[in-house]
A = this chain, B = another copy of it.
Amino acid sequence: MEANIIRTGRVVLHVADLDRSRKFYVDALGLIETETRGDELYLRGLEEHNHHSIVLKKSSEPRVEVISYKVMSDSDLDRLEELFNAKGMKTKWLEKGSQHAVGRTLRTQDPSGMPVEFYAEMDTVERMLQRYDLYKGARIQRIDHFNCMVRDVEKAYHFYIDELGFACSEYTAAEDERIWAAWLHRKPSVHDVAFMNGKGPRLHHTGFWLSDQLSLIHACDVLASMGYTQNIERGPGRHGLSNAFFLYLRDPDGHRIELYNGDYLTSDPDFKPVRWDINDPRRQTFWGHAAPDSWFEEASEVMNLFAEEDETVMEIGEPTLKQRKPTFVI
């Protein structure tokens, strides 16, 4: 029986200065600060009833410790351990209590090398959805997805679909119908995770869902008012692929955040994954300015969870398919 993964859960990012990060994530983007605990800052979106969806840990290097998925029940964790071990993947447990506010957690390095974690349980807190008096900045509602830059998208694609039960909503086809990028989901939205061909493993961005387009425009205004104009890397614009109305930001440590609106329901078994040719100019940018080179080249390094020494990052390798910045982007 397949493990039941529900959705994207949380991301753990290493940052240099919690106060600096708080100003960006809480004051400018409007995330709710659940609590600060020593060197860790716990944040959540306005509708989230779980303790946090993002953990910022003070550290000397701006790395991604782990990206996490929530599963339906504790026994799903055992099923995942079994699966990973059967596939020859290393796993380790973090028992309940060893990570603040989170239950028993299973960690592994996925076939792309991304550090991934699964948990069934997280403390619940007050949902702020109807505390409109606290809304500010981008009014982030919830975490939505991860975008991973990996060396072999097809390997990731098959593992997540065949072994973990993800479904594909949209994908980009290169020569010979090789999959150059793919958008995969467990919750019936466009994605919980996307894989994009490139130097990896690296985390390209974490996506957060906004309830409307004007919150994204207002976020630009607020960011500019607060001196964060340079942190707006790309957008606003609309992707053809996923129909996302998007804004890409770089946080003060360089981690990339996507503010995202424009999803659709992908629940149906007869939903056919949308195929985009890599040479279709409307795929990347339905409209909007060309993405800067940094958007194609830069991404966050990720931790090697099984290294002998702490704080070891995964080695970055060249992609299987040609890594490219589409030439047609307007």
Question: Residues of A with Cβ closer than 8 Å to B?
Answer: 6-7, 27-28, 47, 49-50, 70, 72-73, 120-122, 124, 129-137, 141-142, 187-188, 211-214, 217-218, 220-226, 229-230, 232, 234, 236-238, 240, 243, 245, 262, 264-265, 267-272, 281-282, 285-290, 330
Q: Say yes or no: A220 contacts B232, CB within 8 Å.
A: no
Instruction: Contacts A269-B72, A272-B124 given; indicate if A133 touches B211 (C-beta within 8 A).
Output: no
Q: Say yes or no: B245 contacts A129, CB within 8 Å.
A: no
CA of A221 to CA of B120 in the docked complex: distance in angstroms?
33
Q: A142-B264, A224-B238 are in contact. List 15 more A-B contacts (CB 8 A).
A: A6-B268, A7-B265, A47-B265, A121-B270, A130-B286, A132-B225, A136-B136, A211-B262, A217-B217, A220-B287, A224-B282, A229-B281, A229-B285, A229-B287, A236-B236
Q: Which residue of B lies closest to A218 (CB)?
A: B132
- A141 to chain B: which residues have CB within 8 Å? 264
Q: Say yes or no: A245 contacts B217, CB within 8 Å.
A: yes
CA of A230 to CA of B328 in the docked complex: distance in angstroms?
11
Q: Say yes or no: A264 contacts B129, CB within 8 Å.
A: yes
- A214 to chain B: which residues have CB within 8 Å? 212-214
Q: Say yes or no: B267 contacts A7, CB within 8 Å.
A: yes
Minimum Cβ distance to chain B for residue A287 (Å): 4
CA of A121 to CA of B268 in the docked complex: distance in angstroms?
10
CA of A132 to CA of B226 in the docked complex: distance in angstroms?
8
Give the residue of B49, B131, B232 whose beta carbon is less than 8 angstroms from that of A268: B49
Give the residue of B137, B262, B271 whose beta carbon is less than 8 angstroms from that of A49: B271
Minimum Cβ distance to chain B for residue A291 (Å): 10
Minimum Cβ distance to chain B for residue A136 (Å): 7
A-B complex: 6 closest residue pairs judged by Cβ atoms:
A132-B221, A289-B289, A224-B287, A132-B225, A133-B225, A47-B264
Q: Which residue of B lies closest to A47 (CB)?
A: B264
Q: Which residue of B lies closest to A7 (CB)?
A: B267
CA of A250 to CA of B267 in the docked complex: distance in angstroms?
29
Sample 30 A-B pairs with CB under 8 A, ordered by A number.
A7-B265, A27-B133, A47-B265, A49-B271, A50-B268, A50-B270, A122-B270, A124-B272, A130-B240, A130-B243, A131-B225, A132-B222, A133-B222, A135-B221, A136-B136, A187-B188, A187-B265, A211-B212, A212-B213, A212-B214, A213-B214, A213-B217, A214-B214, A220-B237, A220-B288, A221-B238, A221-B287, A229-B330, A234-B289, A289-B289
- A70 to chain B: which residues have CB within 8 Å? 268
Minimum Cβ distance to chain B for residue A281 (Å): 7
Q: Say yes or no: B187 contacts A267, CB within 8 Å.
A: yes
CA of A232 to CA of B271 in the docked complex: distance in angstroms?
32
Q: Say yes or no: B226 contacts A133, CB within 8 Å.
A: yes
Instruction: Contacts A47-B265, A224-B286, A286-B224 given; indicate if A243 touches B142 (C-beta within 8 A).
Output: no
- A124 to chain B: which residues have CB within 8 Å? 270, 272
Q: Say yes or no: A223 contacts B287, CB within 8 Å.
A: yes
